[in-house]
Structure 1
Amino acid sequence: MNIRAELLKLAEPDYQVFASRLLPGTPHILGVRLPYLRKMAQKIVKEEATSFLSEREMVYFEEVMLRGMVIGYLKNLPLERHLYYIKEFVPLIDNWSVCDSFCSGLKVVGRHPEYFWSEVTAYLKSTNEFEVRFGVVMLLNYYVNNRYVEQVLGLLEETMHSGYYVRMAIAWAISVCYVNYPQLTLRYLQKTTLDTFTYNKALQKIRESLKTDSDTRALMKQMKRNEKTATPS
């Protein structure tokens, strides 16, 4: 399969405009819809995964997205090989869409959380905004459970990167913790030293959750901090 030719054929100018608005500053977006990319990724996994993943030339946003999807669809690999592909891919992430799509596709981590724990959490100490976001989004996808939730909240508290996409991911992660462990997360929110921007975004995301009742929405509104104390982004 000529991957780039196939992507160019599937590109839609109107969708390219829409996608570019969602991803300001992200260059070389063709405008290929995600369902088409998923179908291509599944076909690549069946026919030419190894040769595809050995390719180093990626110009378009969709080529990077496709690579992440292929890694997620891989099966029956030794865990160390899967980890190799993950670590090779993470430095390519330069926007929230690739990051979040890649994380959601890594079901292997959900099946083997202990094996990947130290690797995932190491990214929280990176100076790169999207590497840190990768770590946070991986936590909210695969580690908000009985075994790890307290450690997750502790790590979110310690993650110091000030990048906008990191702080939004932390707020999202806290809201996921709250939906699943409301009392534990409420105690965390009552004593957290998070900056005001991230803290208030977490409360907002909790309020906006479809699983949040009216009493919780009222409580989150009461807990909101004065925006004037927020740390500039």
Structure 2
Amino acid sequence: MREERLKQLRQMADEEYKAFNCKLIPGINKERTLGVRVPALRKLAKEIVKGGWERYLEELENCKLAPGGIGGTELFYEEVMLQGMIIAAAKMERETRLAYIARFVPRIDNWAVCDTFCGDLKFADREENRRRVWEFLQSYLSDDREYFLRFGVVMIMDHYIDVSHIDSILKILAGIHHEGYYVKMAVAWALSMCYVAFPQETEALIKNNRMDDFTHNKTIQKIRESYRVSKEDKERLKGLKRK
């Protein structure tokens, strides 16, 4: 089944998009990238989840990866993307999906796969799943591996910024101290989204936190770039930047 799907992916490949994607995603292996656009991948994922997806995921999971992740001798970047989309879209029990997620996260080694996967995991928004998924994410939020931690941060940003979780989220984000660039950027991005939804609570954290200067200033920058923040608020926040 994998060979059949890989043939489809090759037919959808776009060399210009491949070049663009390789520039956009640092560290991506050009030799293991085809250049398939995300909408085309989503369309293929929808086709696969209609039947036989379990076998396809099993084949992908059995493929070897090179040390460091996606750029291995087996899977293409698009296959990893597709794997995540299928895990998010296929009909399955909650615990089965969480098991697939746990096996998939170690394959994430760039922001594009991470953020697409997190955004697709809509099952976390269902009321019957929210508490269980929140508990599931806690180990990732305390992990010291860059993309494990980014996964946790982007997940709570995408699915948990609400009145019930905002205090916990702000505490979690303020307590993350990691040297990974993609963790710092995720924390800043998440805090900017927190500000849009809960400006008073988030600004209080910005005024008094122990985050590194880069994350602190990047948070303010991202908030000031938002069209959902007033000019007055942006100007006030500008004064909180560290020299």
- Fold-level match, TM-score > 0.5? yes
Q: 2:85 is paired with a residue of what secondary structure?
A: helix
Contact 1:72 1:105 in 2 (8 A): yes
Per-residue deviation, 1:47: 2.1
Q: 1:95 aligns with which of 89, 103, 110?
A: 110
Q: Which residue of 1 aligns with 2:42?
A: 38
Contact in 2 for aligned 1:153/1:174 (Cα 8 Å): yes
Once the two structures are overlaid, the 10-residue window that deviates more, 123-132 or 60-69, is 123-132
Is 2:177–2:212's contact at 8 Å kept on the other side of the alignment?
no
Shift of 1:29: 1.5
Following the alignment from structure 1 to structure 2, what is the Cα–Cα distance between the partners of residues 62 and 162?
Answer: 28
The question of 1:155 aligning with 2:172 is answered yes
Which runs of no fewer than 5 residues in structure 1 stay unpaired? 227-233
Are the aligned partners of 1:121 and 1:135 in contact in 2 as well (CA < 8 Å)? yes
Structure 2 residue 159 is matched with structure 1 residue 142:
yes
Deviates more, 1:40-49 or 1:118-127: 118-127
Secondary structure (helix, strand or coil) at the match of 1:47 reads coil
Distance 1:128 1:4 in 2: 30
Q: Amino acid of the residue matched to residue 69 of structure 1?
A: M
Q: Give 2:6's aligned residue.
A: 4
Alignment partner, residue 206 of structure 2? 189
Instruction: Write the distance in 1 (CA, Å) between the matches of 2:227 and 2:101.
Output: 32
- 1:96 and 1:122 mapped to 2: Cα distance? 19
Residues 132 and 161 of structure 1 are in contact (CA less than 8 Å); yes or no, is this contact kept in structure 2?
A: no
- Residue type matched to 1:163 in 2? G
**AA matched with 1:5:** K
TM (norm. structure 2) is 0.90
Distance between the aligned counterparts of 2:122 and 2:94, measured in 1?
A: 12
Query: How far apart, CA to CA, are the structure 1 residues paired with 2:200 and 2:176?
Result: 22
5+ long unaligned stretches in structure 2: 64-73
Structure 1 segments of 4+ aligned residues over 2 angstroms from their partners: none
How many residues are matched? 225
Measure how far apart 1:48 and its partner are. 1.6
Question: Scaled by the length of structure 1, what TM-score is found?
Answer: 0.94
Conserved 8 A contact 1:100-1:137: yes
Q: What is the 5 A alignment of 1:44-193?
A: 44-55=48-59, 56-57=62-63, 58-75=74-91, 77-111=92-126, 112-193=129-210
Q: Report the RMSD for the aligned CA atoms in angstroms.
A: 1.0
Q: Which amino acid aligns with 2:108?
A: I
Whether 1:211 and 2:228 are equivalent positions in the alignment is yes
